[in-house]
């Protein structure tokens, strides 16, 4: 029988239902039925009370959770009667958290998350029946607190289906550092896909730990941001292979939380334009060049540790390109310069591959089509302005090849002062007009104002970004010329970021 589950918009509840859907092989929340709820409830009851989950999940539900209460642990007692009593108590509270959906509703309150009737039985000795506190939902108030609740009435009314979902939620999260990572989207299927990938990793690690009698669940070898983007990329690639078509572009929000002794919550948001860009770069037109940029952005393994011994795992923790996606669009100029123009950051640590980026050695990675996609999707640049950048880049490439030569190219590449840049543009415009015998100019007034000026008198703050975009188009058009004039590209020291 269907249990009438819909997408709620609350990350913990939705990720919980997504985990149940992934666990039972359902594609939508609406497909969940009572047998699915029973299946996940049985798994939780059997595994939350044993290691590695019993200790691990206190970061989600606190040490007061039903499965972590030492008073309910039959293994603490030698006497058969006390052992049986503890087992009975644990079963009593397990059913209240996992199986109240099997009972008919008998309370007047409505779940704040699903709109379904709230649970009928108490989940704590201190809260009203059907109300949840911090031991049931991460980051809520404690059971005794009256602050921030309507009329000072503690706890929140919650449907038994939603209570079960939140109990399942940690299985669909990634363990990263000292907390859990829950990924939520305005797209139900994407939320399910994230939960599915994290669930598969967790179930595998749980089985291994139990087989080896280990008490600790391993965490992700990746940093949080890298894991988030890497998982999203895997989902996108799978959808491309399965030819899954999206009706709309999603947003993604990640919640890194710990509900233990030191509760914490950090929120990471990937806005629409970033997810749109990531969807596009995995299409055939951009996939090869994008994958190459990603491959050259992984943290390098340390060569040695103390006393010359090999240091740590060979598994890289950070992909710097992935991490820097979270700086967009605010730091777009830096992103373009480092990853698309290959300008090195010489002051970075030895394990940071950006130290060795080189526009000379990696000119083949400079791709105008990829950059054009980036400025359209991420910076929301108009087609007209992109066309003006492209036209100026084409003209300057022609001028470089036939008139300005290496001297001009190096000047345009390295100029950093705004007055010098304007002087160079004006001089080059005059030379270009002479080169074309008056048939055309490098740019007209409208193009110049659109690309470089704020109004008619003030140079744009992002003029260096505009220059770099033009430069990328020039390099694209000058590939064969650069191959014969490699020294035209300045050295790494001349262009390096501080």
Following DSSP, what letter does each residue of 202-218 receive, concatenated?
A: HHHHHHHHHHTT-----
What is the torsion angle, in degrees rounded to the nearest 10, for the CA atoms of residue 348, residue 350, residue 354 and residue 356?
A: 120
pLDDT band, residue 302 (cuts 50/70/90) = confident
Distance CA 409, CA 428 (A): 11
- Asked if pLDDT for residue 312 goes beyond 60, the answer is no
pTM of the model: 0.91
CA 422 to chain centroid, in Å, comes to 40
Distance CA 109, CA 117 (A): 6
Tokens of 303: 């060569």
Choice among 74-78, 275-279, 293-297 with the minimum mean pLDDT: 74-78
Task: For 453-495, write each residue's pLDDT tens digit.
Answer: 888 778 899 999 999 999 999 999 999 999 999 899 998 888 8
395, burial (CB in 10 Å: exposed 0-12, middle 13-18, buried 19+): buried
* Angle of CA points 467, 459, 340, to nearest 5°: 20
Domain boundaries, the chain: 11-239, 384-495
Distance CA 457, CA 294 (A): 40
Per the prediction, the chain carries an average pLDDT of: 91
Confidence (pLDDT) at 498: 45
Spell 337-351 as b/e; 16+ CB within 10 A means b: bbbbbbbbbeeeeeb
Q: What is the DSSP string of 13-72?
A: HHHHHHHHHHHHT-SSGGG-BHHHHHHHHHHHHHHTTSTTHHHHTHHHH-TTSTTT-GGG
Beta-strand relationship, 252-258 and 174-176: unpaired
307, burial (CB in 10 Å: exposed 0-12, middle 13-18, buried 19+): exposed
Ramachandran assignment for 380, one of left (phi > 0), alpha (psi -120 to 50 degrees), beta (any other):
left
Distance CA 357, CA 340 (A): 10
Range 206-219 average pLDDT: 93
Closest-CA residue to 115 (of 167, 158, 163, 164)? 158
Please report, rounded to a whole number, the percentage of residues in the chain having pLDDT higher than 90. Answer: 74
Choice among 212-216, 320-324, 470-474 with the minimum mean pLDDT: 212-216
Range 395-421 average pLDDT: 94
Confidence (pLDDT) at 208: 95
């Amino acid at each position: 029988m269907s249990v009438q589950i819909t997408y709620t918009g609350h990350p913990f509840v939705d990720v919980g239902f997504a985990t149940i859907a992934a666990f039972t092989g359902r594609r939508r929340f609406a497909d969940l039925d009572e047998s699915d709820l029973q299946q996940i409830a049985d798994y939780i009851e059997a595994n939350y009370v044993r290691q590695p989950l019993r200790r691990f999940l206190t970061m989600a539900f606190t040490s007061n959770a039903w499965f972590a209460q030492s008073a309910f642990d039959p293994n603490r007692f030698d006497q058969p009667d006390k052992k049986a009593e503890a087992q009975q108590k644990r079963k009593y509270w397990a059913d209240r958290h996992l199986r109240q959906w099997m009972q008919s509703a008998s309370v007047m309150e409505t779940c704040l998350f699903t709109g379904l009737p709230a649970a009928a039985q108490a989940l704590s000795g201190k809260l009203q029946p059907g109300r949840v506190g911090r031991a049931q939902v991460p980051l809520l108030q404690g059971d005794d607190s009256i602050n921030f609740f309507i009329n000072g009435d503690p706890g929140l009314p919650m449907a038994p289906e939603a209570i079960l979902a939140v109990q399942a939620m940690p299985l669909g999260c990634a363990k990263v550092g000292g907390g859990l990572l829950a990924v939520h989207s305005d797209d139900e299927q994407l939320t399910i896909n994230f939960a599915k990938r994290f669930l598969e990793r967790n179930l595998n690690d749980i089985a291994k730990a139990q087989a080896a009698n280990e008490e600790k669940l391993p965490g992700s070898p990746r940093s949080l941001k890298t894991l988030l983007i890497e998982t999203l990329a895997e989902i996108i690639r799978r959808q491309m292979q399965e030819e899954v078509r999206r009706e709309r572009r999603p947003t993604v929000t990640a919640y890194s939380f710990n509900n233990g002794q030191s509760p914490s919550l950090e929120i990471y948001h990937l806005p629409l334009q970033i997810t749109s860009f990531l969807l596009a770069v995995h299409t055939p037109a951009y996939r090869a060049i994008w994958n190459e940029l990603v491959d050259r952005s992984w943290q390098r393994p340390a060569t040695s540790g103390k006393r010359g011994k090999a240091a740590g795992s060979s598994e890289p923790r950070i992909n710097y390109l992935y991490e820097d996606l979270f700086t967009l669009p605010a730091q777009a100029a830096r992103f373009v310069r480092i990853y698309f123009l290959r300008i090195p950051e010489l002051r970075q640590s030895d394990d940071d591959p950006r130290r060795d980026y080189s526009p000379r050695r990696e000119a083949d990675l400079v791709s105008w089509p990829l950059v054009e996609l980036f400025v359209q999707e991420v910076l929301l640049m108009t087609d007209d302005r992109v066309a003006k950048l492209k036209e100026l880049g084409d003209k300057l490439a022609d001028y470089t090849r036939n008139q300005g030569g290496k001297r001009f190219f190096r000047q345009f590449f390295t100029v950093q002062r705004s007055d010098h840049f304007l002087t160079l543009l004006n001089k080059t415009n005059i030379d270009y007009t002479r080169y074309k015998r008056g048939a055309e100019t490098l740019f007209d007034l409208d193009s110049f104002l659109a690309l470089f000026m704020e109004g008619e008198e003030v140079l744009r703050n992002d003029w260096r970004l505009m220059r770099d975009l033009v430069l990328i188009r020039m390099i694209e058009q000058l590939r064969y010329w650069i191959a014969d004039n490699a020294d035209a590209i300045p050295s790494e020291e001349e262009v390096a970021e501080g």
